[in-house]
Structure 1
Amino acid sequence: MTADPRTLVIVAHPDLSGSSRVNRRWARELAAHPDEFVVRDLYALYPSGTLGEKDAEAERAFLAAHGTIVFQFPVYWYSAPALLRTWTDEVYGLGWAYGGEAAEPGEPGRMLAGKRFAVAMCAGDIEANYRREGTVGFTPAEVIIPFRATANYVGATCVAEPFTLFGTEGALTDDELEASAAAYLAWLRDLRA
């Protein structure tokens, strides 16, 4: 049973306080609602790009305490930034997240079973290219298949359609950015419904 009803948001942007415009705005929106969201900024927490065993244990405690976990990041070569992969490798350990097929959800080896995962991402490219006939050739739901497969493997579920903001390397206006923050907040709230 989860102890914290808030949504846990794992933010992975290598320069959230600098070059990031979208993820920084989204994180600021979440911070304005601490009664609804817990935000973990991976690059601020682990600037060396590595996690030790104590770090992994701390992250596991956050995951164990929340029922809904959202991974927020910019799309980098149709994947997530490197630290999110490192985080996954270190945190989803054998005997904690998997390897306990006979265990009940919430027990060692199945600690993520029954959790709900989702992905929120921004893409520099335009939406038209994230179609089968576009230059990317894949939809956002297809781009996040590794997240969905991982969720399946650890006994969690993953929302198939990610929240996606396209065209972030183009002329994204301030009004469009504000609208995306409001839409993101609504999408997150709908996840709990």
Structure 2
Amino acid sequence: MAAPILVIVAHPDLAGASRVHKRWVEELARHADEFEVRDLYALYPGGTLDEVAVATERAALEEHGTVVFQFPVYWYSAPALLRTWTDEVYGFGWAYGGETAAPGEPGRALAGKHFAVAMSAGDIEANYCAEGTVGFTPSEVIVPFRATANYVGATCEPEPFTLFGTENGLTDEELERSAAAYVSWLRGLPRG
């Protein structure tokens, strides 16, 4: 059996203010044999990662072929701790810097992995296009994730799973549909 999909969750208040991501994580927990969730803000409430934390995160990445980054869109990016996590975990000599090494060797630990992004957006879908107030599609918003994956020798889904309009009175029914759709989308990802 393939390793579960690793879901890296970055929501600063998953247990409190989060409605969408809390529900998504609850749904993933119902399928623990398929998905392993790492809640960065619960693991690193101080917002930093020490050497032990970096080693732990690297080990988790090494064990999984498919990694999903789940977060609410903050100013067309991810919450700060996910950026800190990337800066610390994707170190030279581990994630990159070994261009002549085979996948999995030092400097190429992420080569051959498959990444994807699952995000919630407060704004409505109609604004996520060239003519909309955002001016960019969700695929364009996640270009930094796609570029990073490319740089470390991984692949990244070009389209993120996106739930729009989360600040506009999302109904309980819409939330439940999104949780089911999210699991279905995850199950359709390539396994790296």
SS at match of 2:188: helix
Look up the equivalent residue of 2:83 and give its one-letter code: R
CA contact (8 A) 2:5 2:64 kept: yes
Secondary structure in 1 matching 2:189: helix
| 2:136 aligned partner | 138
SS of the aligned residue for 1:191 comes to coil
Report the counterpart of residue 58 of structure 2 in structure 1.
Answer: 60
Structure 2 counterpart of 1:165:
163
Which 4+ runs in 1 deviate beyond 3 A?
none
TM-score by length of 2: 0.98
Give the alignment of 1:1-193 within 5 angstroms: 5-192=3-190
> What is the Cα deviation at residue 192 of structure 1?
3.6
Report the Cα distance in structure 1 between the residues aligned to 2:109 and 2:152, rounded to whole angstroms: 8
Unaligned runs of 5+ in 2: none
* Amino acid paired to 1:17: A
Unaligned runs of 5+ in 1: none
Measured in 1, the distance between the counterparts of 2:188 and 2:103 equals 24
CA separation in 2, counterparts of 1:142 and 1:27?
25
AA matched with 1:89 = D
How far, CA to CA, are the matches of 2:74 and 2:54 in structure 1?
24
The structural deviation recorded for 1:4 is 5.8
Alpha-carbon RMSD across the aligned residues, in angstroms, is 1.0
| Pair 1:191–1:136, CA change in 2 (3 A) | same
Does structure 1 conserve the Cα–Cα contact (< 8 Å) formed by 2:163 and 2:178?
yes
Contact preservation (8 Å) 1:101, 1:109: yes
Q: Distance in 1 between matches of 2:73 and 2:9?
A: 12
Contact 2:114 2:190 in 1 (8 A): no
Q: Return the alpha-carbon distance in structure 1 between the equivalents of residues 104 and 2 of structure 2.
A: 14
Task: State the distance in 2 between where 1:4 and 1:79 align.
Answer: 31
When normalised by structure 1's length, the TM-score is 0.97
Quick one: percent identity of the two aligned structures? 76
Deviation of 1:171 after TM superposition, in Å, equals: 1.0
Q: Distance in 1 between matches of 2:182 and 2:153?
A: 26
8 Å CA contact 1:4–1:65 kept in 2: the answer is: no
Task: Show CA shifts across 1:68-122 (max 9, x none).
Answer: 0000000000000000000000000000000001100000000000000000000
| Aligned pairs, number | 191
Please give the alpha-carbon distance, in whole angstroms, between the structure 2 residues aligned to 1:173 and 1:115: 36
